[in-house]
Amino acid sequence: MQKEEKMERKKIDKAAIEKHIYGILTALGENPNREGLKETPKRVANMYEEVFAGIAYTNQEIAELFGKTFEAEFDHTTDVRDLVVVKDIDIFSYCEHHLALMYDMKVTVGYLPNGRVIGLSKIARIADMVGRRLQIQERIGADIAEIISMVTGSKDVAVRIEGCHSCMTARGIKKDTAKTVTTVFRGQFRKDEMLQRMFYQSYC
């Protein structure tokens, strides 16, 4: 059995969500008992259990869930940097200010191995699980960087995220072409311009 299956998952209160969604529908002036809405509170509760699964776990717990690494040897006698990059990881999330969808999100993760490398699929799983929380985009990048560092033992991590926010595209200012880009640099990435260029070039 995989480690991610062994960890007991905290459960959300689906009954409470159903009750409150019923109340919201009523407050909107809708009839929650009409045919099209009868099952809506239950459907929303089931959806929330799925899309907010990451709330149940701390960053440390996510690191434990997806912490499979492999020993790797690199030639450190040259100036070549052993940069590992995984790009175009699709995730979604929800803004904590409006409960609005953050969509078309692309995550790029880079790190300098410190004797061990993480399985590539685990990087995508980490990004996906971090996205399944109520938050802001800036925090997603910071949390992914922290977890990658925990798992790999490397302090040298970079995370770039580009995405659209429906709280900006579908309401308010309604600028449907606007995208938000955030970048997190940790360790050597903060001051090493060559590393930064290598990272930037990986997703261009």
Query: Which residues lie below 8 Å from residue 116, measured CB to CB, with a gap of 6+?
Result: 69, 70, 71, 72, 152, 153
Q: Which residues partner with 185 through β-bridges? A: 158
Q: Annotated catalytic, 60?
A: no
Q: How far is the C-alpha of 185 from the C-alpha of 73, rounded, in Å?
A: 24
3-state secondary structure of 13: coil
Q: Annotated catalytic, 20?
A: no
Tally the C-alpha atoms within 13 A of residue 68's C-alpha that lie toward its C-beta.
Answer: 11
Q: Is 6 exposed, middle or buried (0-12, 13-18, 19+ CB in 10 A)?
A: exposed
- Specify the residue for token string 């977890």: 147
Q: Annotated catalytic, 164?
A: no
The residue from 162, 167, 188, 196 that is catalytic is: 167
Q: Annotated catalytic, 97?
A: yes
The residue from 95, 162, 188, 196 that is catalytic is: 95
- Consecutive H or E run containing 106: strand 101-111
The residue from 20, 61, 98, 188 that is catalytic is: 98
The residue from 39, 60, 97, 138 that is catalytic is: 97
The residue from 18, 135, 146, 165 that is catalytic is: 165
Q: Annotated catalytic, 96?
A: yes
What residues are labeled active site? 95-98, 137, 165, 167
